[in-house]
């Protein structure tokens, strides 16, 4: 089990913004400095709390995007048009600002960086964030665990971490990315626009230890409907339910 799995007295701490980076038109990475951060495992999340001058307070959960290490924690947040918190985090929050944050949270949906087992990651939209943390952790620790990422995204402009993921798969043959564009695909992608289905799963898991007999660790993250659909596909393909870990977030943006 990941070393950060045991929480003691989880409480709010003050995080200072030390950097912001636009990833897409709606997605921004915010770099927080957290003195005394106990460290996290790839896949964990934090809760963010905002309090208005009149005392009204609201909180949301966001996955950590960065690999473990140091006092800096990166969150990549996608702005929701009618969101209450995400517009503030992605459009207002600036370097030097402080917010309340608690974590790291959740010892279940985490990748153990000491495990040599193959890993199959399946992301829907901004559900790629905790899975990107696992990919980054893999490269940060120099793991040779075979990794494959299946990433469903609306269109090329919504792709998070596209250049970085591409760089990884060009430099390491045991890491690969397969993209499913659901609305608009780039001209050079032969596969027609569409969601992840059984045929896509078969193609994207070929040529590596990612099929059911290989028993890869499967992590699926995305909107609730997406996760339900891909979890069913993976089970139908013969993977054991105990090897599949899921993380759902609501389309309302109530989570991550």
Partner 1 sequence: MSVPLDGNAIAGALGELFAVDVSVARLECGGCGMEGVVAEVVVYIDAPGVVARCRACDNVLFRLVRAPDRAWLDLRGVAYLRLRTTST
Contact residues: partner 1, CB under 8 A: 1, 5-11, 45-47, 61, 102-103, 105-109, 224, 245-252, 254-255
- Nearest-approach distance from CB 45 to partner 1, in angstroms: 8
- Nearest-approach distance from CB 254 to partner 1, in angstroms: 6
- Residue number, 5 or 193, with CB nearest to partner 1: 5
- Residue number, 41 or 145, with CB nearest to partner 1: 41
Phi/psi of residue 66, nearest 5 degrees: -85, 155
- Residue number, 7 or 215, with CB nearest to partner 1: 7
* Rounded-to-integer distance, Cα 149 and Cα 123, Å: 7
- Nearest-approach distance from CB 154 to partner 1, in angstroms: 19
- Residue number, 10 or 198, with CB nearest to partner 1: 10
- Residue number, 132 or 185, with CB nearest to partner 1: 132
- Residue number, 179 or 231, with CB nearest to partner 1: 231
- Nearest-approach distance from CB 133 to partner 1, in angstroms: 14
- Nearest-approach distance from CB 6 to partner 1, in angstroms: 6
Helix axes 128-141, 162-171, angle to 10 degrees: 40
Tell me how far the alpha carbon of residue 244 is from its chain's centroid.
Answer: 16
In the numeric block, which tokens belong to residue 107?
A: 């010892």
- Nearest-approach distance from CB 214 to partner 1, in angstroms: 23
């Amino acid at each position: 089990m990941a070393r950060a799995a045991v929480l003691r007295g989880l409480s709010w701490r003050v995080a200072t913004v030390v950097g912001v980076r636009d990833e897409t038109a709606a997605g921004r990475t915010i770099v927080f400095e957290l003195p005394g951060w106990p460290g996290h495992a790839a896949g964990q999340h934090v809760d963010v709390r905002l309090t208005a001058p009149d005392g009204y307070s609201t909180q949301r959960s966001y996955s950590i995007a960065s690999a473990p290490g140091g006092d800096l924690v990166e969150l990549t947040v996608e702005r929701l048009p009618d969101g209450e918190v995400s517009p503030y985090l992605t459009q207002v929050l600036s370097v030097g600002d402080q917010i309340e944050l608690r974590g790291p949270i959740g010892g279940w949906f985490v990748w153990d960086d000491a495990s040599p087992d193959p890993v199959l990651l399946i992301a829907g939209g901004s559900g790629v964030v905790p899975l990107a943390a696992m990919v980054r952790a893999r490269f940060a620790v120099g793991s040779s665990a075979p990794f494959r990422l299946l990433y469903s995204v609306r269109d090329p402009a919504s792709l998070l971490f596209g250049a970085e993921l591409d760089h990884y798969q060009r430099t390491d043959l045991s890491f690969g990315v397969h993209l499913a564009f659901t609305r608009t695909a780039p001209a050079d992608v032969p596969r027609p626009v569409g969601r992840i289905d059984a045929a896509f799963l078969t193609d994207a898991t070929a040529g590596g230890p990612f099929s059911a007999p290989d028993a890869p660790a499967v992590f699926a993250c995305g909107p609730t409907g997406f996760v339900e659909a891909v979890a069913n596909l993976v089970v139908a393909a013969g993977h054991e339910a105990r090897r599949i870990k899921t993380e759902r977030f609501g389309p309302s943006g109530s989570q991550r």
